[in-house]
């Protein structure tokens, strides 16, 4: 994939990170053990795209004490049941998985459906790097530097029809390559879904990389979803199909355990999982637990989408 680098005359003032923030960013990343070379390779880890919910140069949803989780933890402590149910299974079982070539089918209530090779699917959107907080339903969390494109960019190119209200996602089903699918842990293939406004939100990313590198197999190569205000199981991996529909789609965990995993899956510390409290979380690499934040700390950006909803009933 050819990525065009902007010439100096193409750079807008809003794209330039203030010197004070750049310097503090270097200190922040250095504290996590990143080298100067890794910083350069990761480009700008703050989003350069401004929106109504986001002031230019300000990190999305990050707290003052947030630090990037080390690469070793991000790539070795994973939920990816297609490669096993233990957190260490994906890194071991996915080593020989070949994520390329890859095709993504876009279908349903769109004016421009089609099957796209990954490189064509991503064009002409600009890859960008963002650091997001992640909260898993098992009460652990990470801070991860992802690289990807806004899902909204892809959906707009497909031109949703007036009747489209939801977006459904499907993971590759290939038990020969994904040994976890040989067991009835879930109803395969893995499926997920978002309301259309959630999918179009500028925080929602289709991710192709992490820490400035291509996405490792165990993290969902070559393409995964990241929705930072929702629990981690909404981040469907190895996506092969995106379908727009007028009806709420079935999702893997909601089908398997509807009393535990709702369709919305927004981080809400006041709604406990039936088997554990969601009020606190343990950041990977830390000993003490910290309070869980509403919408995982992204309330300023996303709470308005759920105005008037009963967030205990719509969990």
What pLDDT, on a 0 to 100 scale, did the predictor assign at position 18? 35
160: β partners: 110
Distance CA 180, CA 122 (A): 28
Sorting pLDDT into bands at 50, 70 and 90, what band is 62? confident
What pLDDT, on a 0 to 100 scale, did the predictor assign at position 60? 66
What pLDDT, on a 0 to 100 scale, did the predictor assign at position 125? 85
Which positions ≥6 away from 173 have C-beta within 8 Å?
Answer: 181, 188, 189
Q: What is the torsional sign of CA 183, 273, 315, 234?
A: negative
Sorting pLDDT into bands at 50, 70 and 90, what band is 123? confident
| Cα atoms in the Cβ-side hemisphere of radius 13 Å centred on 73 | 16
Q: What is the torsional sign of CA 69, 97, 220, 3?
A: positive
Distance CA 117, CA 111 (A): 19
Inter-residue contact 172 to 189 (CB < 8 Å): yes
Whether the predicted pLDDT of 14 surpasses 70: no
Cβ count within 10 A of residue 132: 25
Of 22-31, 160-169, 198-207, 212-221, the poorest mean pLDDT is in: 22-31
193: three-class secondary structure by DSSP: strand
pLDDT over 90, % of the chain: 77
Distance CA 315, CA 312 (A): 5
Stated length of the chain? 315
Domains of the chain: 65-306 (3.90.420.10)
- Look at 162 and 43; give whichever has higher pLDDT: 162
Q: In whole angstroms, how far apart are CA 245 and each of 111, 116, 159, 226?
A: 13, 19, 13, 20
What pLDDT, on a 0 to 100 scale, did the predictor assign at position 102? 98
143: β partners: 133
pLDDT digits (tens, 9 = 90+) for 151-190: 999 999 999 999 999 999 999 999 999 999 999 999 999 9
Ranges assigned E (strand) in 67-165: 103-108, 114-117, 128-135, 140-150
Cβ count within 10 A of residue 230: 25
258: three-class secondary structure by DSSP: coil
Whether the predicted pLDDT of 34 surpasses 60: no
Smallest CA-to-CA distance from 222 within 84, 121, 143, 88 is with 121
Ranges assigned E (strand) in 27-139: 103-108, 114-117, 128-135
* Pairing mode, strands 239-245 and 140-150: unpaired
Strand order in the sheet with 103-108: 114-117, 103-108, 239-245, 166-171, 191-195
Inter-residue contact 63 to 76 (CB < 8 Å): no
pLDDT digits (tens, 9 = 90+) for 188-211: 999 999 999 999 999 999 999 999
Q: Which residue has the tokens 């879930």?
A: 186
Whether the predicted pLDDT of 283 surpasses 80: yes
| Torsion of Cα atoms, 73 then 79 then 80 then 83, to 10° | 80
pLDDT digits (tens, 9 = 90+) for 228-271: 999 999 999 999 999 999 999 999 999 999 999 999 999 999 99
């Amino acid at each position: 994939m050819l990525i065009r680098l902007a010439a100096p005359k193409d750079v807008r003032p809003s794209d330039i990170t203030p010197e004070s923030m750049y310097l503090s960013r270097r200190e922040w990343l250095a504290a996590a053990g990143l080298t100067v070379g890794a910083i350069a390779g990761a480009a700008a880890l703050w989003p350069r795209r401004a929106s109504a919910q986001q002031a230019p140069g300000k990190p999305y949803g990050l707290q003052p004490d947030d630090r990037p989780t080390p690469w070793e933890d991000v790539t070795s402590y994973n939920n990816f049941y297609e490669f096993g149910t233990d957190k260490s299974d994906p890194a071991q079982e996915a080593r020989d998985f070949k994520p390329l070539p890859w095709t993504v089918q876009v279908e349903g209530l769109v004016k421009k459906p089609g099957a796209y090779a990954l490189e064509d699917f991503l064009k002409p959107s600009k890859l960008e790097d963002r650091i997001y907080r992640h909260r898993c339903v098992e009460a652990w969390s990470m801070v991860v530097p992802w690289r990807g494109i806004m899902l909204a960019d892809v959906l707009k190119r497909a031109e949703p029809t007036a009747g489209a209200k939801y977006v459904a996602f499907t993971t590759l089903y290939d038990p020969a390559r994904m040994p976890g699918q040989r067991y009835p842990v879930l109803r395969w293939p893995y499926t997920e879904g978002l309301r259309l406004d959630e999918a179009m939100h500028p925080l929602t990313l289709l991710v192709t990389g992490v820490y400035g590198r291509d996405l490792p197999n165990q993290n969902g190569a070559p393409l995964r979803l990241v929705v930072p205000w929702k629990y981690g199981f909404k981040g469907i991996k190895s996506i092969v199909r995106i379908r727009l529909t007028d009806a709420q789609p079935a999702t893997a965990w909601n089908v398997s355990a509807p009393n535990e995993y709702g369709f919305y899956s927004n981080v809400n510390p006041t709604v406990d999982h039936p088997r554990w409290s969601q009020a606190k979380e343990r950041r990977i690499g830390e000993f003490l637990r910290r309070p869980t934040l509403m919408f995982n700390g992204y309330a300023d950006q996303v709470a308005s989408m759920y105005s008037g909803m009963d967030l205990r009933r719509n969990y």
